[in-house]
Each structure stands twice: as structure tokens, then as C-alpha cells.
Amino acid sequence: MDTPVSVQVVPRAVMQDQQTTRIKDALENVSGVRPQTSLGRGHGFLIRGFRNQRVFRNGLVAGGISIGEAPEFDTANLQSVEVLKGPAAILFGRIEPGGMINVVTKRPEDTPHYSLEQRFGSYDFYRTEWDATGAITEDRSWSYRFAGAYQNNESFRDFNFNDRILVQPSVTWRPTDATEMTLEVEALYQEYQADRGLFAIGDRPAPIPISRSFIDPDDPIDTLSRVNLGFTLSHAFNETWTLRNRFLASFNEDDNFSVKPANAFTVQQFLDPGTGNRTYLRNIFSQAAESETYTTNLDLTGNLELWGTRHQTLVGFDFLRSTGTYLTRGNFLSPVPGLEIDIYNPVYGIDRSFYANALATPFPAGRNHSYFRDEWYGVYFQDHITLWDKLHILGGGRYDWATTGRGLGDSFSAAEADLPSREDEAFSPRVGILYQPWYWLSVYGNWTTSFGANNAITGSGATVDPEIGEQFEAGLKTELFDQRLTTTLAYYHLTKENILTRDFSSPDPNAVAPIGEARSQGIELDVSGQITDELSLIGSYAFTDARITKDNEGRQGNRMNNVPEHAGSLWLKYDIRRYEPLNGLSFGAGVFIAGQREGDDANTFVLPGYVRLDAFAAYRYRLGDANLIAQFNIRNLLDKTYYESTDPFQSAPPRVGIYPGAPLMAMGSIRLEF
């Protein structure tokens, strides 16, 4: 209520009620946030119309910032998912102007608590989650936590599956009341099948079943692994000044192999006109990415009173270094004879010699190994001034120094030797004002900018100027029903310059072309909390007008891809507390709505709008000091056909990368807490 920015939080309780396993599903509850996946995985998001493939973990960037997609995040070890709207999160640096997604992990507690849950559902879905925390020593100066999950499932999409395990052990030491240190290790390993999705015919998704896949049942298994090593330290010198340090090392590997449409660049060729556009021409492509990211920050915060005003002051420094490699084999371009398939009557089974040939074919020849390097230094400051307990003034900003480089070659050493380097620096200010005439109402406004260095080169080998974002925002916040229900209503106008897209006229699969400038403006409404002791809700609505305003290819005025003009959600939960025979029973329902969306920036096809209805019921039974909870969820209760997003030119052009949403899915679970 005191901060002049829009901040939304999806708490653990909502994720538990909705039985979400990935942050993609949790973020459906936040206005202006849309998933935009690649290869069918839960990575990449649109926030206020702009793509964001970086996810922060406890305030620090997780995963490489120049390699492909954001890392995979399971929800088993998450306490909440936060969204800071617009460039207002500029103090964190390296964010997209649409906003920032930050996952908050579970931390050790000195009070014992244990839970074990088993889920089972449609498409052979099985998932086991566990969480244990408590004190290690009698004085409670040492405490631990061990959370994790194992999941194995098939898919409504043919030949798709997921097999993954997540573990996160952590330990906290509190030597004094003023000092606390936490060390945590998070490891995730996943085997899966890369999904190329469906495709468009004309201006709509092809009229074929959403279950139909054009990969192959004999495709090699794809793998993904991630390790995060995190450390936090806080020390209070006195009641006024506190020092905090955070460190995160992220190690990510992704190796996938897939049968794909050919030619990938000129998408008109992937259907053979000689067969009445029913024969899908294919080739085989493999990509492998590795990245190491080290990031840290040091903050000094103070709570001061000067001349009748209160100050919450922050000064800090942060550093990030990220390196990565990207290896491609196979062929983006030419159809491979023998791999064609009928889209209406597919016959599967690819000889393994095709896969061996693809692995032995570097692509592009002689330059299939890319090396990326990013280094960022930033200093930042902020002062939150309070006058008369009603007026809040926020001022601050950060200065960035960024060095980026990218090289190509047959090997890592050759790529590194050919590494061009670019240095950029900029100051990004942040100002805001908030007035609180009554305790339950705040009116605010802010102006912010953002800076993002582009680690990319054009087809001619030139580096690219940084992306620059600017936002004006005004809104109001309320706390109703004895401050149990919070509401944020915001209007924003946001622009971004030097936006990049893939350059498909270049043989380099990493070449880019600046799109120019885009503008997004709209209205967002978020509501969450308790209406009564029994009824709670979380809901959102977004009107988003996101368009290309300057472009080198004549797309000025086009709507930005995958951004619905109208979208919203509402999740209601009712807990029965007053009627003894039914005490412990809860149930709820949710509706998730998205309007029609353009499939690509050229506006050549659309994804139809949809309404999805979900529901759940749970019963909590008391067993002495323990609780046994049985729960049943249904997702897409009316079994509607809908499409979530298109590929963002990450692994395919949007026309050949349309990812459908799941049909009706049921899930049951049993959870023991003690």
C-alpha cells in the first residue's frame, strides 16, 4: 500500500489449491502475464506484451541470459511467485520492460513441520512431493529444510512424456539475533520429448486433432539439468542499518533432438503443394546448450528519521557473469527424403540411420558452435520518503556497465578466439509518488526506464544497440474487509526500442534483426485475499493494446504476437468452518479467459480466444497432531480445445510452432502433514 508500483504475488496456498507443478500455471492468476513456450516446455513469458525469458530466483538471475529459454522451475520448493510490473523492478537490473518474475524458495524454519503428498491423474500422471523442516540444534541456531518432488507422466500429445526429479536441501545458521546465513542447493534433472507443436493453414491452426504429433515415437530422449547453489547473509548492525549479501551460481544443460518441419525459415515450403498440402516435409535437428551464471549483490538498507520525515534508504552493488555454448547439428533447411508424413493419416517409424546422419552433420557447416559471454556491473540507490504518514515519494535508479560477446566456430576454442565484444553503459532512473488519503486507499504514479544489452549480431556480423524501455504508470490500491482483500488497478504506457527477432534470411541460426520499436498500453486489475472467513479469491483482468510502432519490414501498426486484447481469471475458494459435520471440507472453481491473439508479428494468422473452467474439492481430516488431506482437481472441466501460444522464433517460426492447451485432465492427491 506504500509502494508506487504494481506488485502481485501468487502464494503457496493458491499453488496448492490449483495443484500447479510449474510456474507457468501459477502465473495464470496474474494480470498481463502470458506463457510463450518453445518446444512445448513451460519457459518464457509475455508481461505487458513484451517477452521475458529471464526468471529471478530470490532476487538474482537464474540461468544464462543469452542462451535460449529461461530455466525450468518446478513448484515443489517454492513459497511464492512474485511479479513486479513494468521497469519498476529496475533496481534488480537486467529485466525486460514488461516486468520481472521472481520465484521465492522455501527456507529452513526452526519449528518442525513435515509433509508427504502423492498425486495421480490423467495420462498416467504420478507425482510425489515432500517437505521437511526443523531445528538441528537444541538452541535452534541451526535449522534445515529438505523439499523436492519426483514426477512421471505421459501427455495428451502423442509420444510426449516427462520424467523429472527435483531436490533442494538447505541449512540456516543464526549465530546471533542480528546475523543469519542460509546455504541451499537445488538440483533438477528431466527427461522429456521436445514437442514441435502444431501448425497453421491459412489464418488459423490446422484442423487436425490437438493430440497429433509430427515428431516420432523413436526419437532419442531429450535431457535437461539444472543446479542452483545459493547463499544469503544478513546482518543488522543496529536498529537502523542492515547489510545483506546474496550469491547464486546456476549451471544449466539442455540437449534435445527433434524431427522438425523443413524448410524452417520459409514456412510455406513445409507442406508439399504437389500433394494438395497434406504432406509434411521434415528434417532432423539437434541442439545442445550449456551455461554457467554467477551473480551476487551487496545491499545496505537503513531506516532513518530526518527533519520530521521517515526514510527507507537502500544502496547496493551487483555483479553478473554468464558464459555459455550452443551447438547445432542436423539441418534447418532442406527436406530429407524419406521423412515426409501425411498430416491427416500419419504413419510413424523413422530408421535410426537418419538420426545418426543428423548427429554427424554440423549446421551451419564450420560455424555450428556458438559461445556467449555476458558481464554486468551495476550500482543502485533508492530512497522511500514518508511524510505525514500519507505521502510517499520514491526516488532512485541504477547505473549499468555491460560487456557482451558472441563467437562462432567448429569448437569452443575457435568460437572464443572469434569472440566480438561490445561495451554499453547507461543510467536508469526510477521515480514514483503515492498518496494515501485513507488507510484503505492509495493513489500512485511512477516513471521508470530500463536498459538491456543485446548479446547478438546481425547477419552481416554487426553488434546491436541495447534495448531501452520507458514506462508511465498510474493507479490505485485498496485494502478492504479489514485489510484482508487487496486490489490494484493500474494504467500504463510502455515503449521499447531495439527489439530483436530472428533473421531467417541469414544462414546463421543465431542472426538477429532489430524490429525497431513497440508500444504497449493498457489497464490491469488484480484482486486477492479473503472476503469472509470462508470465502477467498484471486482474480485478474487485463486490457492490453500492444503494437509494433517502428519496423524495418513494414509491420508498423501490427499487433504484437500472442498478446490478447482482453484476458482475465477468477479463482474462488470456499472453506466450510461453521458446520461441524462438514468442517474441513473446501471446494472452489476458476475461470481463465483469453481473447483472440495474433500468432506472429506479421499478423498472418490468429489463435482463437478461449474460456477454460477448472474446479477442485478437498477434505482435511484431523489425525491427532497430523492432518490428512484428500484433494481432487479437474482442469478444463468443459474439455474445450484451445491454443496457449506460438513459438517465439526460439526454435521454430510461429506458424509451425503452435502449442495447444491440454483437454480435460483430472488429478487426485493424498497429503499427510504433521
What's the pLDDT tens digit per position in 91-119? 676 677 889 999 999 999 999 999 999 99
Q: Which of 79, 29, 23 is nearest to 53 (CA)?
A: 23
Cell of 190: 528431466
In 203-240, at which residue ranges do the beta strands (DSSP E only) sit? Answer: 204-205, 222-236
Ramachandran quadrant class, 461 (left: phi over 0; alpha: psi -120 to 50; beta: rest): left
Mean pLDDT value across residues 166-178: 97
Cell of 630: 484428500
Q: Is the pLDDT of residue 388 over 80?
A: yes
In 510-638, at which residue ranges do the beta strands (DSSP E only) sit? Answer: 512-530, 535-550, 566-575, 585-594, 597-598, 606-607, 610-623, 626-635
Residue 551: predicted pLDDT:
82
Under the banding of pLDDT at 50, 70 and 90, the label for residue 265 is low
DSSP calls for 89-124 = GGGG-S-BTTEEEEEEE----SS-EEEEEEEEETTT
**What gap in Å lies between CA 540 and CA 525, rounded to an integer?**
5
Residue 504: predicted pLDDT:
57
Under the banding of pLDDT at 50, 70 and 90, the label for residue 437 is very high
Residue 508: predicted pLDDT:
61
Q: What's the count of helices (H) and strands (E) in the chain, helices before strands? A: 4, 39
Residue 651: predicted pLDDT:
77
Q: Is the pLDDT of residue 65 over 70?
A: no
Cell of 142: 541451526
Residue 572: predicted pLDDT:
98
CA angle 96, 98, 102 (to 5 degrees): 70
Mean pLDDT value across residues 388-393: 93
Mean pLDDT value across residues 506-528: 80
Phi, psi dihedrals of residue 270, rounded to the nearest 5°? -75, -15
Q: Is the pLDDT of residue 129 over 90?
A: yes
How far is C-alpha 11 from the geometric centre of its chain's CA atoms? 16
Most confident of 31-45, 130-144, 213-227: 130-144
Q: Is the pLDDT of residue 465 over 90?
A: no
Q: Is the pLDDT of residue 286 over 80?
A: yes
Quote the radius of gyration of the chain (alpha carbons, Å). Answer: 25
Q: Is the pLDDT of residue 667 over 60?
A: yes
Distances (CA, A) of 115 to 82, 145, 243, 315, 641: 24, 12, 34, 39, 36
Under the banding of pLDDT at 50, 70 and 90, the label for residue 69 is low
Structure-model confidence comparison of residues 41 and 670, the more confident one:
670
Task: Give residues with Cβ within 8 angstroms of 7, minimum separation 6.
Answer: 82, 83, 84, 85, 488
Residue 274: predicted pLDDT:
84
Q: What does the mean pLDDT of the chain come to?
A: 90
Q: Is the pLDDT of residue 570 over 90?
A: yes
Percent of the chain with pLDDT strictly greater than 90: 67
Q: Is the pLDDT of residue 470 over 60?
A: yes
Residue 316: predicted pLDDT:
95
Under the banding of pLDDT at 50, 70 and 90, the label for residue 63 is confident
**Spatial contact of 586 and 618, defined as CB atoms under 8 Å apart:** yes
Residue 98: predicted pLDDT:
87
Mean pLDDT value across residues 578-600: 92
Residue 205: predicted pLDDT:
96
Q: Is the pLDDT of residue 285 over 80?
A: yes
**Spatial contact of 593 and 568, defined as CB atoms under 8 Å apart:** yes
**What gap in Å lies between CA 459 and CA 478, rounded to an integer?**
51
Q: Which of 224, 221, 243, 217 is nearest to 232 (CA)?
A: 243
Q: Which of 60, 58, 32 is nearest to 45 (CA)?
A: 32
Distances (CA, A) of 149 to 82, 104, 132, 264, 452: 22, 17, 12, 37, 35
**Spatial contact of 444 and 402, defined as CB atoms under 8 Å apart:** no
Structure-model confidence comparison of residues 506 and 128, the more confident one:
128
**What gap in Å lies between CA 91 and CA 395, rounded to an integer?**
11
Q: Over the stretch 338-384, which tens digit does the pLDDT of each residue have?
A: 999 999 999 999 999 999 998 888 887 777 778 888 898 999 999 99
Under the banding of pLDDT at 50, 70 and 90, the label for residue 231 is very high
Strand 55-57 relative to strand 99-105, pairing: parallel
**What gap in Å lies between CA 95 and CA 400, rounded to an integer?**
12
Q: Over the stretch 620-651, which tens digit does the pLDDT of each residue have?
A: 999 989 999 999 999 999 999 999 999 887 77
Of the ranges 193-202, 322-331, 501-510, 564-573, which one carries the lowest mean pLDDT score? 501-510
Residue 454: predicted pLDDT:
67
Residue 386: predicted pLDDT:
95
Within 10 Å of residue 338's Cβ, how many Cβ atoms?
Answer: 10
Residue 66: predicted pLDDT:
60
Q: Is the pLDDT of residue 509 over 80?
A: no
Residue 529: predicted pLDDT:
96
Task: Give residues with Cβ within 8 angstroms of 341, minimum separation 6.
Answer: 214, 279, 280, 282, 347, 348
Residue 643: predicted pLDDT:
97
Under the banding of pLDDT at 50, 70 and 90, the label for residue 40 is confident
Mean pLDDT value across residues 280-286: 91
DSSP calls for 457-512 = B-TTS-B-PPEEEEEEEEEEEEEETTTTEEEEEEEEEEEEEEEEEE-TTSSSTT-E
Mean pLDDT value across residues 136-142: 95
Within 10 Å of residue 268's Cβ, how many Cβ atoms?
Answer: 9
**What gap in Å lies between CA 557 and CA 55, rounded to an integer?**
30
In the β-sheet with 45-47, what is the strand arrangement from edge to edge? 33-35, 45-47, 50-52
Helix, strand, coil share (%) of the chain residues, nearest 5: 5, 60, 35
Structure-model confidence comparison of residues 482 and 368, the more confident one:
482
